[in-house]
Structure 1
Amino acid sequence: MAINLDNLVGFHQKAINIREEKMEVIAGNLANANTPGYKARDIDFKQAMESARHVQQQGNLTRTHDNHIGGSLSTSSFDIDYRIPNQPDTGDGNTVEVQSERNAFLDNGMRYQASLKFLEGKLKGMKKALSGGQS
């Protein structure tokens, strides 16, 4: 029986990729905290995972002829939206709330680490199964 790694870890890999992209967006927000007119951005993780799941269900698309319609299976099939501020405008049009961004960055980082640990456990289990249960 063939082992399909996408079935084993594909979903978790997409989650890690989205977490990484989200971390970059939050870091960009923090870097522009003092830029007048800058609008804080965010990735809706739940929506991004739904989009990744939908793409995964469509399967791998391969173009075997130039006349075939191309497909894209990138993890960037989600939108980066503007974050709705919790506090009123400070007068310069910047919507970055530094403390909220720091909290979001830390939360996302912890979830990223948890996803890595979960994926590591899956791969260790696979390795153990392939070696016949011997460590």
Structure 2
Amino acid sequence: MADSRIFGQTYEMIGKSMDISSRRHNLITGNIANIDTIGYTPSDIDFQSALKRAMTEPEPDNLDKTNEKHLPGNIDGSTGQMNSMDSEDVDIYHLNSVNIDTEMMNLMENNIKFRSTAEMLLRKMTILNYAIDEGGK
């Protein structure tokens, strides 16, 4: 679909951006879920570098399966690199490095990025629909 004149690279970029936001959401909620786990190190994805890497790396044409029951495609989330980071503000009542304020801020930031990307996709589809309807004749 990247060669299509109708869709171009915009749809590909929007799709990959939403995929990365979804993976980041899962990581952040996992960090929040493990807030009481002793020794847990929070993980996160650097959105900009993951998107840049996803746009420059070619997608594989096919994947080798070692068993016919294996699922097709790249569903393991290898596009985003996970980075563990230690928080400087460790709660004295918890013996881990998950800071709820930092995680909630990351969650809100990621939500805003995802929703604005979804809005861009909706507007692109509206423009395409308008063009298909020949300008509302």
Common topology (TM > 0.5): yes
Residue of structure 2 in register with 1:122 after alignment: 124
Distance 1:35 1:73 in 2: 27
**Aligned structure 1 segments of 4 or more residues deviating by more than 4 angstroms:** 71-75, 88-93
Among 101, 105, 111, the residue aligned to 1:103: 105
Partner deviation per Cα, 1:1-43 (whole Å, 9 max, x = no partner): x545363411001101111110110000000001000001100
CA 72–28 in structure 1, closer or farther in 2 if over 3 Å, else same: closer
Structure 1 gap ranges (5+): 64-70
Residue of structure 2 in register with 1:21 after alignment: 23
Structure 2 gap ranges (5+): 64-72
Are the aligned partners of 1:39 and 1:82 in contact in 2 as well (CA < 8 Å)?
yes
Are the aligned partners of 1:16 and 1:115 in contact in 2 as well (CA < 8 Å)?
yes
What is the TM-score when the length of structure 2 is the normalising length? 0.77
Are the aligned partners of 1:26 and 1:105 in contact in 2 as well (CA < 8 Å)?
yes
CA 60–14 in structure 1, closer or farther in 2 if over 3 Å, else same: same
Which amino acid is 1:119 matched to?
L
Distance 1:131 1:16 in 2: 28
Residue of structure 2 in register with 1:9 after alignment: 11
Which amino acid is 1:109 matched to?
N
CA 75–33 in structure 1, closer or farther in 2 if over 3 Å, else same: closer
The share of aligned pairs that are identical, in percent, is: 22
What is the TM-score when the length of structure 1 is the normalising length? 0.78
- Deviation, structure 1 residue 80: 0.9
Q: Counting helix residues as a fraction of each chain, which structure ranks higher?
A: 1
Distance 2:113 2:79 in 1: 21
Distance 2:38 2:76 in 1: 33
Partner deviation per Cα, 1:81-114 (whole Å, 9 max, x = no partner): 1023132574865110011101111111111111
- Deviation, structure 1 residue 74: 7.3
Are the aligned partners of 1:40 and 1:94 in contact in 2 as well (CA < 8 Å)?
no
